[in-house]
Structure 1
Amino acid sequence: MERQDLMIRQVRTAARAVLAAGLLVTGALTAAPPAAAATAPTALDTSDYTLSADYHQYDALNTALVSTLGTSAVHTVMDNANHDRQGLASSFSVAGLSGGFRFDDGDDGDCQSYPQGITTSRDAIGTANSGNYDGHQLVLVSWYTKDGCDGAQQRSRITLVDWDATYPNKYRKILLVEPTGTTAAPSFKDIPVHAGGVSWYGDYLYVADTGRGMRVFDMRKILNTDTGGTADQIGRQSGSVYYAHNYAYVLPQIGTVTAQTSAADKLVWSSISLDRVSRSIVMTEYTCQSGCTAYPNRAPRAVRFPFASGATTFAATTTASQALQLPWYNLNGVASHNGRWWFNSSSQKKLYYWTPTAGSSSFAWVSGGESISYWEDATGPDLLWSLQEPANNRNVFAVTQATYGGG
């Protein structure tokens, strides 16, 4: 459906991409319901939270894998994108809606795989060159796959989605793998993490690993693999034949960012997001107020970790620059930008907004909401990107951040 001309002018950059896909929606700048007052976060001792970073953990194996398999640049991967994205569900509605999409029917209804984290090429490079990374403006979503519809976590992947009027409305899946084997016979294996959050900064992709911290990948090192074989084959088979569950591309882990804490409870890395203004990654925990068996029953925290000066990497050791105890629960998403914070509570269907000076407020939000990514725009309103997890209801969408307290 087409927007009115006023809408197109107000969200010019995002709308151009949506227009090419025929995905414009009406009512995109509908005002959010009046904000409700909410209890505020409280500060914690930042010295309790540190990171240890190793970006060279798999150097030798990755060098051997690149030599054996060769790499494909992001633009090559997107030239070979083989899935069609489709428009938002006709019934989907949220205040401040700017645009969005759904995956194809197979991925929208897949009971084994679940979308979790979201980041974009605007995270990676900012607003320069219209937010294009290697010639493409992209939305990146992380997924985990279970062993059967009711099974355990088995592997994880990312999806690169073109969000640019210049290109077809396509996306491509890339399997996340951990290097194994020897330099003489390198291989790789599945990474069975929840991938609840993801942040793309420069060439590096940071993926949340719930009990550890983050796994690190390099977007310049996407490996080519052999298609064919059986659906369960992974890694080196014989000679130079490498299968990856029939994925044509895999992204190998290059390192690990490990969290340490002197607090009573170790951090649960449920979701992460990039703050380009303060050059940091923020994380938050999914916890319950009471009654949960699979998650902690305590107040959650949000912690900010700064990157090394002038770099898109963390120093060997990093101390948190901000730590908060939060009054909200069941948090699946977090975003921060220029001193402002947003937290998504999936069970409450609330988006909480907080700044140290203005205090906190809450807004009605979508059901099944997951991670959040802040989208900077040099020519139009800044946006918040998010997505829904439930099968057959996986809308990936952007809203104007000012609608949710951002101002």
Structure 2
Amino acid sequence: MFLRHRITAGCAAVLIAASALTASATSASAAAGPTTLPAGEYTLTSDYHKYDAVYSGLASKLHTVPVHTVMDNANHDRKPLPSTFNPAGLTGGFRFDDGDNDDCTNYPQGITTSRDAVGGDNGGNYDGHQLVAVSWYTRDACGGKQVRSRITLADWDATYPNKYRKILLVEPTGTNASPNYKDIPIHAGGVSWYGDYLYVADTGGGMRVFDMRKILEVNSGGTADQIGQSGGQYYAHNYRYVLPQVGTVAAHTTSGTNLAWSSISLDRVSKSIVMTEYTCKADCTDYPNRAPRAVRFPFASGATTFAASTTASQALKLPWYNLNGVASHNGRWWFNSSAAKQLYYWTPTAGPATHAWVSSGESISYWEDPKDADLLWSLQEGKGNRNVFAVKQATYGA
């Protein structure tokens, strides 16, 4: 079983500590729940072939590698959660190595898993691995500007070593005959993996699309500053692997206020992606000062892609602020507020409830499990405190 495997992988101390916890403090209700907005005001347009020609040129010069090869070459050791970390319902998790945990230039943001990608019936294995994927953004210095983004793939399966690997996200440039790529300097605040496609939130306009079958191995050497083609070789800030963008999912609205794509999550039940906005109640200079929205966009019927044009199936105005994470499953919703350190749970019939949550909380991913309890995966972005963890979903809502 999943939890027994994790105990043998080094999480026993964490699980024992977690078993002694009582349920999280939950208020009977919040002041008000979400209200419905006109879903028809929000649409998407998609293009999954925008970079086909350039990618074909890159693939002719570089090796395409499957996910299992990337994980065979995973080169970072994930660490167990500290015994002092004990949110209600904790079932396990990990921490990044000391270099990543203490890095002031790289910050983890979004989270998704191979169970998002393929479901839980086969153990959630994608290319033979049960994986947790985390998106990051990189600054050019501590407190500097955002200059690129990446993902990490971490094995979460006792069959394999407790390792993870970093993959640089890049945007193809040039032509088929003269292909190149460049950094993607986005916040990468949310990420969802569905089928072979990885959807990464782009705050200003929707999502960037990547294909997990199209990871490229680049040339070794170069310098930490080198990106793209140089002297017939391809470099990527000393990363071994890059994941080129394959397409875009652009957001549109007739509401008069564009959506700020702060976080996203996959809902496998309704076959949709839900998004939410990070906004402030007042006195913010870098973020909108207004109520946030949450919007659901359905995938094309029977597909893991969006249609060329998609209209939202649900839109909500939310009473909560500083939202870094969202999840939805079977008509239920969860929203994480990093500032309030609270996880809000809501259904249209039962109304809202508030749970104590972690500090510096980020995105949420719903983990379906046909044999054990369903989980919510999340993570913390704070330097020195980057825990990636799973809690029982039932602890935070029926």
Which secondary structure does the structure 2 equivalent of 1:168 belong to? coil
The residue number in structure 2 matching 1:5 is none
1:17 matched to 2:6: yes
Which secondary structure does the structure 2 equivalent of 1:52 belong to? strand
Out of 186, 201, 206, the position equivalent to 1:208 is: 201
1:278 matched to 2:267: no
Write out aligned runs for 1:6-405 (5 A). Answer: 12-25=1-14, 26-29=16-19, 30=21, 31-38=23-30, 39-239=32-232, 241-405=233-397
Contact 1:15 1:24 in 2 (8 A): no
Q: Distance in 2 between matches of 1:24 and 1:254?
A: 42
Contact 2:113 2:193 in 1 (8 A): yes
**Structure 2 residue identity aligned to 1:175:** L
Structure-2 change in CA distance of 1:18 and 1:144 (3 Å): farther
1:185 CA drift (Å)? 1.5
Which secondary structure does the structure 2 equivalent of 1:390 belong to? coil
Contact 2:13 2:83 in 1 (8 A): no
1:252 CA drift (Å)? 0.1
1:34 CA drift (Å)? 3.0
Q: Distance in 2 between matches of 1:24 and 1:122?
A: 25
Structure-2 change in CA distance of 1:183 and 1:23 (3 Å): farther
Contact 1:206 1:217 in 2 (8 A): yes
Contact 1:18 1:100 in 2 (8 A): no
Q: Distance in 2 between matches of 1:15 and 1:360?
A: 34
What do residues 241-287 of structure 1 show as CA deviations (whole Å, max 9, x unaligned)? 10000000000000000000001210000000000000000000000
What do residues 318-342 of structure 1 show as CA deviations (whole Å, max 9, x unaligned)? 0000000000000000000000000
1:22 CA drift (Å)? 4.2
**Structure 2 residue identity aligned to 1:249:** Y
1:24 CA drift (Å)? 4.4
**Structure 1 residue identity aligned to 2:318:** L
Once superposed, which parts of structure 1, at least 4 consecutive aligned residues long, lie more than 2 Å away?
21-24, 26-30
What do residues 93-147 of structure 1 show as CA deviations (whole Å, max 9, x unaligned)? 2000010000000000000000000000000000121000000000000000001
Q: Which moved more, 1:29-38 or 1:353-362?
A: 29-38
Structure-2 change in CA distance of 1:27 and 1:89 (3 Å): closer
Question: RMSD between aligned alpha carbons?
Answer: 0.9
For structure 1, which runs of at least 5 residues remain unmatched after alignment?
Answer: 1-11
Q: Report how many aligned residue pairs link the two structures.
A: 394
Which secondary structure does the structure 1 equivalent of 2:6 belong to? helix
Q: Distance in 2 between matches of 1:115 and 1:14?
A: 25
Q: Distance in 2 between matches of 1:226 and 1:365?
A: 43
Which secondary structure does the structure 1 equivalent of 2:122 belong to? helix
1:23 CA drift (Å)? 4.9
**Structure 2 residue identity aligned to 1:173:** K
Which secondary structure does the structure 2 equivalent of 1:20 belong to? helix
Normalised by the length of structure 2, the TM-score is: 0.98
Contact 2:109 2:136 in 1 (8 A): yes
Contact 1:23 1:88 in 2 (8 A): no
**Structure 1 residue identity aligned to 2:231:** S
Which secondary structure does the structure 1 equivalent of 2:198 belong to? strand
Q: Distance in 2 between matches of 1:18 and 1:257?
A: 40
1:18 CA drift (Å)? 4.2
Which secondary structure does the structure 2 equivalent of 1:351 belong to? strand
Q: Distance in 1 between matches of 2:69 and 2:98?
A: 25
For structure 2, which runs of at least 5 residues remain unmatched after alignment?
Answer: none
Contact 1:24 1:99 in 2 (8 A): no
Which secondary structure does the structure 2 equivalent of 1:129 belong to? coil
**Structure 2 residue identity aligned to 1:156:** S
**Structure 2 residue identity aligned to 1:53:** S
**Structure 2 residue identity aligned to 1:134:** D
Q: Distance in 2 between matches of 1:15 and 1:273?
A: 27
